[in-house]
């Protein structure tokens, strides 16, 4: 997961400029939106394959797509081809994380899910942070084509490392076309929907960040467009060292409320950042927020998922993740017009959705007296 997440995040900081050079700066929001649409569309299929054929098969499909698309990016000389590749690239994120999350859920003890998901999530966040912070450096000293090449090589490393991963699904069946016949019940796991709703709201903030922060770096004169994610990764790893098992002790919803409060504060501060110092502080706070919330959401998902539907449960939380990122990135088409003055509007929207998450969790905690 570390190498896979680094692979496709490596190119994100430079894609705004890439599409601008293709002559379509107004379509920046589609870079993330199309990626997340295809990832979400693939989740019912990846969840079903993970539960019937195997966790590793699902993971292999995802990483192979990632490798192929990464090496085709240099051929994208038109806006249409580039956006088509972004759409196809999303299928990789629709498969590999679904399979790996179901596999991880199989092997961790129920009373240590928060701690285990914090470890798992640390490598995911490290991949996001490393990719976003290194991508601009690689481009500055080489070219777009070399950047895409590096992305593909990292995906190949992920593919090779998968050979050492042990399959955890019992009673597997051989792949056949009937596996792809998705029913309504295969799309979402209804027990996971409370966690999914919170994921949509919190991931919306990430969608805004993916689109707007590379531009903020430009506005503030920061050469590395992945600066925000470099600071974010430092704080999110640090906070997970101390709060990894917090949700195992005080409860998933209580922990999520704490994380969402930090998320709300970070959204306000990013929108008001007029200096590198404030921008850096806001990135650190965003790292704290995700370091607390992300592993807790995955642990809550594991709690809520029936054992025989863990693949679909994982697919449900990732569909929510993609829908949230898509909602956030699409909102930038409305609130952000590629000017410094409009940054505040985009992040005010993020503050509103994070406040809704806090309200929902509080009501759920009061009205639902169950353990989960």
**Where do we find the tokens 């690239």?**
89
Task: Extract the tokens encoding 48.
Answer: 């079903």
Q: Which of 1, 39, 265, 24 is nearest to 158 (CA)?
A: 1
Residue 226 clears pLDDT 80, i.e. is over it: no
Q: What is the pLDDT of residue 358?
A: 97
pLDDT in tens, 324-337: 988 998 888 888 88
- Work out the pLDDT band at 130, boundaries 50, 70, 90: confident
Q: What is the chain's length?
A: 372
Give 222-289 as a DSSP string: -S-TTHHHHHHHHHHHHHHHHHTTHHHHH-HHHHHHHHHHHHHHHHHHHHH--SHHHHHHHHHHHHHH
Q: How far is it, in rounded angstroms, from Cα 344 to Cα 354?
A: 15
pLDDT value at 369 more than 80? no
Question: What pLDDT, in 10s, does the model give residues 141-162?
Answer: 999 999 999 999 999 999 999 9
Domains of the chain: 2-165+186-367 (1.20.1250.20)
Buried b (16+ CB within 10 A) or exposed e, 253-280: bebbbbbbbbbbbbbbbbbebeeeeebb
Is the pLDDT reported for residue 210 higher than 90?
A: no
Task: Read off the pLDDT band of 317 (50, 70, 90).
Answer: confident
**Across the chain, what does the average pLDDT equal?**
89
In the three-class reduction of DSSP (H, G, I as helix; E, B as strand; rest coil), residue 301 is classed as helix
Q: Could you give the CA distance from residue 99 to residue 57 in angstroms, rounded to a whole number?
A: 8
**What pLDDT is recorded for position 55?**
92
* In the block, residue with structure tokens 């084509």: 145
Q: Which residue has the higher pLDDT, 303 or 61?
A: 61
Q: Which residue has the higher pLDDT, 150 or 303?
A: 150
Residue 370 has what pLDDT?
A: 66
Tokens 């692979």 -> residue:
7
Query: Residues with Cβ < 8 Å from 318, sequence gap 6 or more?
Result: 39, 40, 43, 93, 94, 97, 98, 101
The answer, yes or no, to whether residue 91 has pLDDT greater than 80, is yes
Q: What is the mean pLDDT of residues 6-15?
A: 91
Confidence of residue 175 (pLDDT cuts 50, 70, 90): confident
Query: Is a pLDDT exceeding 70 seen at residue 125?
Result: yes
Q: Does 216 score more than 70 pLDDT?
A: yes
The CA distance from 95 to 46, in Å, is: 5
The pLDDT score that the predictor gives to residue 56 is 94
Confidence of residue 66 (pLDDT cuts 50, 70, 90): very high
Pick from 85-94, 173-182, 293-302: least confident = 173-182
Mean predicted confidence (pLDDT) in 134-138: 87
Condensed to tens digits (0 to 9), the pLDDT of residues 189-198 reads 889 999 999 9
Collapsing DSSP to helix, strand or coil, 306 comes out as coil
The answer on pLDDT for 234 being more than 90 is: no
pLDDT band at 311 (very low <50, low <70, confident <90, very high): confident
- CA gap 270, 272 in Å, rounded: 5
The percentage of the chain sitting over the pLDDT mark of 90, rounded to a whole number, equals 44
Which pLDDT does position 159 carry in this prediction? Answer: 97
Q: Is the pLDDT of residue 266 over 70?
A: yes
d(CA 180, CA 60): 16
pLDDT at 166 over 80: yes
**Confidence (pTM):** 0.78
Distance, CA of 177 to CA of 306 (rounded, Å):
25
For a pLDDT cut of 70, what percent of the chain falls above it?
A: 99
How much is the average pLDDT of 314-343?
86
Is pLDDT at 225 greater than 80 in this prediction?
no
């Amino acid at each position: 997961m570390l190498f896979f997440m680094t692979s496709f995040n490596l190119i994100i900081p430079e894609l705004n400029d890439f599409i601008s050079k293709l002559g379509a700066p107004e379509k920046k929001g589609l870079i993330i939106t199309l990626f997340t649409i295809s990832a979400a569309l693939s989740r019912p299929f990846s969840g079903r394959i993970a539960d019937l054929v195997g966790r590793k098969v699902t993971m292999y499909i995802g990483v192979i797509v990632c490798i192929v698309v990464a090496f085709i990016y240099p051929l994208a000389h038109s806006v249409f081809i580039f956006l088509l590749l972004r759409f196809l690239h999303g299928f990789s994120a629709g498969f590999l994380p679904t399979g790996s999350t179901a596999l991880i859920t199989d092997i961790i003890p129920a009373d240590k899910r928060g701690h285990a998901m914090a470890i798992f999530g640390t490598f995911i966040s490290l991949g996001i942070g490393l990719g976003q912070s290194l991508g601009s450096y690689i481009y500055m000293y080489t070219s777009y084509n070399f950047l895409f090449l590096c992305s593909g090589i990292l995906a190949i490393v992920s593919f090779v490392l998968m050979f050492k991963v042990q399959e955890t699904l019992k009673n597997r069946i051989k792949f056949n076309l009937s596996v792809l016949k998705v029913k309504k019940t295969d799309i979402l796991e209804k027990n996971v929907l409370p966690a999914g709703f919170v994921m949509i709201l919190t991931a919306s903030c990430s969608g805004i960040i993916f689109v707007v922060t590379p531009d903020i770096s430009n506005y503030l004169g920061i050469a590395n467009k992945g600066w925000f994610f470099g600071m974010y990764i430092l704080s999110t790893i640090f906070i997970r060292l101390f709060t990894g098992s917090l949700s195992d002790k005080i409860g998933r919803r209580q922990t999520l409320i704490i994380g969402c409060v930090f998320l709300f504060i970070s959204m306000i501060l990013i929108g008001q950042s007029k200096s590198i110092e404030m921008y850096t502080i806001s990135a650190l706070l965003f790292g704290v927020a995700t370091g607390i919330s992300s592993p807790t959401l995955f642990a809550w998902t594991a709690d809520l998922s029936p054992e025989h539907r863990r693949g679909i449960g994982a697919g449900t939380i990732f569909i929510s993740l993609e829908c949230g990122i898509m909602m956030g990135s699409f909102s930038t088409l409305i609130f952000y017009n590629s000017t410094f003055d409009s940054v505040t509007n985009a992040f005010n929207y993020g503050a509103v959705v994070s406040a809704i998450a806090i309200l929902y969790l509080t009501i759920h905690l009061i009205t639902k007296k169950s353990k989960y």
